[in-house]
A and B are shown apart, each in its own frame.
Chain A
Amino acid sequence: MAVLLQSIFSGVLIGGVYALIGIGLTLIFGVMRVINFAQGELVMIGMYCTFFLFKLAGIDPFLSVVLTMPALFLLGAALQSTLINRVLDALPQNQILLTIGIGLVLSNTAMLAFTSDYRILSTTYSSSSVALGSVRLSTPLLYCFLITSAITGALYWFLARTDTGHAIRATAQDRDAAQLMGVNVRNMGVLAFGLGSALAGAAGALIAPTYYIFPQVGGAFTLKAFVVVVLGGMGSVVGATLGGVLIGMSESLAAVYIGSGMKELCVYVIFLLVLLLKPSGLLGKSRT
């Protein structure tokens, strides 16, 4: 019983990180219908920023999020205006290939700049935990989960309560109609990609204390993010949140009850099943 509870709690905590990466991806897809294969690489850049801010300026990772997010926002906005914007009307397959190319450039530039050495970020609380009955919750993951919730909450508020947020949702719902209503859809695209990148950067900053950092770390996160987004429903922020937590839990439980080496396999099987049985995901709208 203790094992089951521990599994579930650990899974939920790590699911928060997956959710954050997924939310970024789903936002970009929702607004521009582009599946960003470089999302994981943006997380990687966030991780490196966090690492260097910690090593060189001694800033705690959970505090440096406020610096990393704007930096990644600018990077994302730049990528969108120079590259992504040019393929918005191209075949979706070509869009995917473009983002794959961007991902390759980002990860390999990082490799040239930082070498492929694994970097470890050690804080005083890197291996601390809080006891909740028989369950032990990792302190860094707990902070991570709390900050993720805060960011997600802020994002919901932004989308639901502000004019710009409404504009983004309008663009996501129907691009042409939004344009007719006077929304500058081109700017919305830049904003969405910037936001998506900022969220990826935040995820990188939050996970940096509990993982290790190397140029190719992005790939696995991108794939995880796809699963989260498809499960939750492409374009749905709430869906991605839910999807993240569910995937985190499934992974954790699979590791215990099926086998540590099999947990990724289970996640991909879930992915395939969702794609085949309910491609619009849990909360997505049915779309061809």
Chain B
Amino acid sequence: MRVLLPWAIPALALALVPLFIQSPYALHIFILLFIAVALGESWNVLGGFAGQYSVGHAAWYGLGAYGAFILLQRKGIPPWFGVWAAVAIAVIIALAVGWITFRLRGPYFVLASIAVAEIIRLAALNWKILTNGAEGILGSDLPPLQIAGTMITDWNSKTPYYYLGLLMAVFCVAVNFAVKRSKLGYYLQAIREDQDAAHSLGIALTFYKNTALGISAACTALTGSFAAFYVSFIEPQGVFGIDVSIQMVLTCIIGGIGTVTGPLLGAVVLVLLSEWLRASLAQAHLLVYGVLVIAVILLMPDGFVGFIAQRLRRKAAER
């Protein structure tokens, strides 16, 4: 429990924010932050813990988004049920993809993950009857959320999205925590460090990799659904595009891959940077991402978090 305390305080502080800050723009930035954190933490389960770098995670993000949206628009199923169905679909497809692609090693796996995401994107683009193709789907108004007759929210302000986003980010961080400390976490670490050695020790490679992928895809799809309802409009390039995948990877690499706090830090840095730079550099904020990634890979392969941890260790050792 002591371990959870340093997390509980900021989480509580964040929960109180909407009571003091009313500006929709500020809340919007927080929500973007929560989405980025959730996505980074989701990717971390597969990329950081299991060492399988997927540059095609946008596939699960988009499946979550489209799944929940289509269910709402076509069948009138409210998001709080539709989301779970979308997540289930994403996980099933992810497991199928994992089953066939996990035999590939290192860079080949990366390429395969890109190909899968592109295939799904192009399928969404062309399957007009289901997805409306390039025109995208404009979300209709969400039905008010009622529990036992009392209305909780009618979704007309940013506050419900803020709390949901916060919950989602906390959930993904918690999942990372849980995985890291569990037996699964140890197996994944073994696979990451040396796949063949792990295999010779009797660890079922594909099974554990798939477990990591399943968890990762589920969290990603969940975030995708949330983001879709928040923005209220989805189209194939926006949710399945390779930039979404790359941003997820960058969040983790820059922050610190394989740690729980790394993706969090990475998300904060990247979201704040892009908003700040949007005025001056417009789209070229990606330039800064590029420079950061190069710097991190060359100078601090464990990301900012690893760098800071190293510094602290050195300081402690010097005493």
Contacts and interface: CB of A to CB of B under 8 A. Distances in A.
A95 B55 CA distance: 14
B283 A223 contact: no
Contacts of A100: 55, 246, 249, 290, 293
Contacts of A261: 122, 125-126
B114 A223 contact: yes
A272 B301 CA distance: 30
Interface string A199-232: 0000000000000000000010001001000100
B116, B119, B297: residue with the most chain A Cβ atoms closer than 10 Å: B297
A108 B284 contact: yes
Interface in B35-72: 51, 53, 55
B147 interface: no
Contact of B118 (A111, A264, A288): A264
Given A87-B298, A108-B286, A268 B111 contact: no
Interface string A2-15: 00000000000000
**Chain A contact residues (Cβ within 8 angstroms of B): what range?**
35 or more
B115 A112 contact: no
A172 B69 CA distance: 50
A276 B100 CA distance: 7
B276 interface: no
B76 interface: no
Nearest to A29: B107
Contacts of B286: 104, 107-108
Given A104-B289, A262-B126, A279-B104, A271 B115 contact: yes
A111 B105 CA distance: 34
A268 B297 CA distance: 29
B80 interface: no
Given A86-B298, A100-B293, A105-B294, A111 B284 contact: yes
A95 B106 CA distance: 11
Interface in B92-126: 100-101, 103-108, 110-112, 114-116, 118-119, 122-123, 125-126
Contacts of B152: none
A107 B104 CA distance: 30
A101 B290 contact: yes
B118 A97 contact: no
A92 interface: yes
Contacts of A83: 294, 298
A171 B12 CA distance: 58
A275 B281 CA distance: 39
Given A104-B286, A109-B287, A275-B108, A90 B301 contact: yes
B293 A101 contact: yes
A137 interface: no
A238 B257 CA distance: 38
A105 B103 CA distance: 32
Contacts of A153: none
Contacts of B51: 93
A87 B297 contact: yes
A268 B119 CA distance: 6
B262 to A, nearest CB: 14
A151 interface: no
Contacts of A271: 111, 115
Contacts of A288: 105
A103 interface: yes
A288 B109 CA distance: 12
B115 A272 contact: yes
Contacts of A265: 119, 122-123, 126
A195 to B, nearest CB: 21
A96 interface: yes
A226 B108 CA distance: 10
Given A104-B286, A108-B283, 16 more contacts: A35-B111, A83-B294, A90-B301, A93-B51, A93-B110, A100-B293, A101-B290, A104-B289, A104-B290, A105-B290, A111-B287, A112-B284, A219-B242, A261-B122, A261-B126, A265-B126
Interface of B: 51, 53, 55, 100-101, 103-108, 110-112, 114-116, 118-119, 122-123, 125-126, 242, 246, 249, 253, 281, 283-284, 286-287, 289-294, 297-298, 301
The 8 closest A-B pairs by CB, nearest first: A104-B290, A101-B293, A108-B287, A105-B290, A265-B122, A101-B294, A93-B53, A92-B106
28 contacts: A93-B51, A93-B107, A93-B110, A94-B297, A94-B301, A96-B55, A97-B53, A97-B249, A100-B293, A101-B291, A101-B294, A102-B290, A103-B290, A104-B287, A104-B289, A105-B294, A107-B286, A109-B287, A111-B287, A261-B125, A261-B126, A262-B122, A262-B126, A275-B104, A276-B100, A276-B101, A276-B103, A288-B105
